Amino acid sequence: MEHGPINFAAIGWFAGWLLAVAVVFFAGLRLPLQTRLTPRKSLLLNAAVLAAALAVTVFANVGLILHDTHIDLTREKVFTPSAQAMKVVDDLRQPVRLTYFYRSQDPEGRRIKDVLEVMARRNSLLQVRTIDPDRQPAAAQAYGVRLYNAAILEVDDRKLLVQSTDEAELAIGIQRALREKVVRVCFVEGHNELPMDNFEFHTHVEGVANHSHGDASSKYVQMQGHGIGRLRRALRATRRARSSWRPCPPFRRIATH
Amino acid sequence: MRAFLSLLGKEVRALFYSPIAYIVIGVFLALMGYSFTITLFNNKYATLVHIFFQSAGLLLLIVPVITMRLFAEERKAGTLELLLTAPVRESHVVLAKFIASMAVLGAMIGLTGVYALVLGIFGSPDWGAIYSGYLGLILLASTLVSIGLVISALTSNQVIAAIVTIGISFSMWMIDTLAAMAPDAVERVLISFSLLARFTPFATGAMYSSDFGFFLSTTLLALFLAMRALARR
């Protein structure tokens, strides 16, 4: 399927398709309706004509699906996925199953649902299924999902949950799901390390005029132990590593001489 | 060509001189006007997406009312034999009835353009999405009319024609709901037959050439079948 700038090849294909369908249709109209055949032969002839008409229709549709063109007529091109997301879809070499849970009352949820369907039409290796848990509670329950705007990505036996309405983040999720090698980052404790559960509560100095309680001011205030907490948060934020806190291998003291 | 035009004129007059067209258009516009007003006051969004979906839903009920009588009535009254023995082709008869029905539905859908004008005067609607929505409605209507024509050509009972057309139309509309329960290979086939799945991109402002082709090819196939059905006489 072609997408984005005007594709004259796709338009030419569609024009040719229209012409071919029109020619076949008007040729079909000229087929004789009454024949001098016996009733049995006439019945067989009619059955053959109907079967041929159905076959032509099926082939015509298959031909068009193979050269499908997407035209986004909206002003802000809201149904046009980002180039980054499209590249991920184009680069797929193995099937990825994406099940997206959205709320049909939520405009942003509906938008990403439509965008995902655009992406799925781009490459048949991306199999998209959209579920509104309010309308399809059984399907949502089967996945054990109680969230809106969340995608479950399945590649082979690997599963990954991404919660977002941004197709670029979902595309990154696809890349993560495709990555067979799992990078494990371990945080050790109990050996005088800085605390890993530091959540940067000290982001500002109380009493200073116009001080902020938001994270925005954290870059100006540095406290001992912030680094490790920031690293952990950064890993979660970038989602480039699985953020499940599974036990690490036992810590082995390396003897130094 | 002259015979076809006189046949078309006769069909258009038959529809517009009967109260059916006006009642259908009036009820449709009243329901859509109510829905448009309520939604606009509640949501304050300059969009017609909900109107397109509701119109599509109503078309599933309205089109069979228009098409049920096209051939069934003539067959029952015995005028179909008269029409088919006249120096006109069967294809002309079918196309004339199809175009006349589309004229009624086109007028009906076109009058909802007033809502778009209202949005244009008081807001800043996304015109691209509105154009594609109307195109989708016209394509959907043409598919439903052609299916109704086939059924009407197969029976002399108008009620049967209407009910069977409604049944087929609704089945094709929501067949994608079965897809979730089907294996992957069947799932795609079921979705590809779904009128709802094909119509949704048009209603929201995105179009696919394959959806356009689906509506067009289904319409032409059904018109062809309607013509062959006339040969049963």
pLDDT tens-place string over residues A109-145:
888 988 898 888 888 899 998 888 887 777 778 887 7
Q: Does B34 touch chain A (CB under 8 A)?
A: no
Q: What are phi and psi of B23, to 5 degrees?
A: -65, -45
- B182 in A contact zone (CB under 8 Å): no
Q: Which residues contact A183 (CB under 8 A, 6 or more apart)?
A: A241
Q: How many domains does chain B have?
A: 1
Predicted local confidence at residue A25, as pLDDT: 92
H/E element, A149 = none
The pLDDT score that the predictor gives to residue A2 is: 45
Instruction: Supply the mean pLDDT for chain A.
Output: 77
Neighbours of A27 (CB within 10 A): 9
CA distance B141 to B154: 20
According to DSSP, residue A220 is labeled G
| Domain edges within chain A | 8-66, 83-178, 183-257
Per the model's pLDDT, the better-predicted residue between A230 and B118 turns out to be B118
- Find out whether B71 and B153 touch, Cβ atoms under 8 Å: yes
CB-based contacts of B64, cutoff 8 Å, min separation 6: B144, B148, B161, B162, B163, B165, B166, B169
Nearest Cβ partner for B91 among A21, A29, A53: A29
Model confidence at A33: pLDDT above 80: no
CATH topology of domain A83-178: Glutaredoxin (3.40.30)
Better-predicted residue by pLDDT, A214 or A115: A115
Contacts of B128 in chain A (CB under 8 A): 73-75
The fraction of chain A above a pLDDT of 90, given in percent, is 14
B205: contact with A, CB 8 A cutoff: yes
Residues of A in contact with B206 (CB under 8 A): 70-74, 79, 114, 118
Going by pLDDT thresholds of 50, 70 and 90, the confidence category of residue A241 is: very low
Residue whose token pair is 């912030």: A226
Does residue A199 carry a pLDDT above 70? no
> How confident is the model over A146-155, as a mean pLDDT?
86
Packing angle, helices B209-230 and B127-154, rounded to 10: 20
Cβ-defined contact of A71 to B216 (cutoff 8 Å): no
Contact A85/A151 with Cβ under 8 angstroms? Answer: no
- Which runs of E-coded beta strand occur in chain A? 70-72, 96-101, 126-131, 150-155, 158-163
pLDDT band for position A177 (50/70/90)?
confident
Sequence-ordered list of residues with C-beta below 8 angstroms from that of A70, at least 6 positions apart, any chain? A1, A2, A3, A79, A118, A121, B206, B207, B208
pLDDT at A256 (0 to 100): 46
Question: Is the interface score ipTM higher than 0.90?
Answer: no
Residue B90 near residue B9 (C-beta atoms within 8 A): no
Report d(CA A211, CA B78) in Å as an integer: 90
Q: Which residue of A has its CA nearest to B225?
A: A50
A11, closest residue in chain B (CA to CA): B209
Give me the residues of chain B with pLDDT under 50, please.
none
In a mutational test of the A interface, the residue from B154, B190, B221 whose CB has the highest number of chain A CBs within 10 Å is B221
What's the rounded mean pLDDT across residues A176-188?
74
pTM across the whole model:
0.77
Tokens 């119109």 belong to: B55
User: What is the sign of the dihedral through the CA atoms of B90, B93, B96 and B101?
Assistant: negative
**Which of B205, B224, B230 is nearest residue A25 as measured by Cβ atoms?**
B224
Rounded to 5°, angle at Cα A81 from A78 and A87: 165
Residues of A in contact with B91 (CB under 8 A): 29
Q: Is A30 exposed, middle or buried (0-12, 13-18, 19+ CB in 10 A)?
A: exposed
Chain A: give the shortest CA distance to residue B216, in Å.
9
> Which comes out higher in pLDDT, residue B134 or A214?
B134
Report which of B171, B176, B20, B10 is spatially closest to residue B93, judged by C-alpha positions: B10
Q: Please calculate the CA angle A25-A30-A31 and round it to the nearest 5 degrees.
A: 100
Furthest C-alpha separation in chain B: 57
More confident residue, B86 or A209: B86
Range of the domain at B137: 2-230
Q: Determine whether the interchain pair A53/B225 forms a contact, defined as Cβ–Cβ distance below 8 Å.
A: yes
* pLDDT score of B73: 80
Nearest one of A152, A1, A6 to A86, comparing CA atoms? A1
Instruction: Name the residue with higher pLDDT: A23 or B187.
Output: A23
Task: Note the pLDDT of residue B224.
Answer: 94
Q: How far are the Cα atoms of A25, B127, B158, B164, B219 from residue B151, in angstroms, in the given order?
A: 20, 36, 10, 7, 13
State how far residue B35 is from chain A, nearest Cα, in angstroms.
17
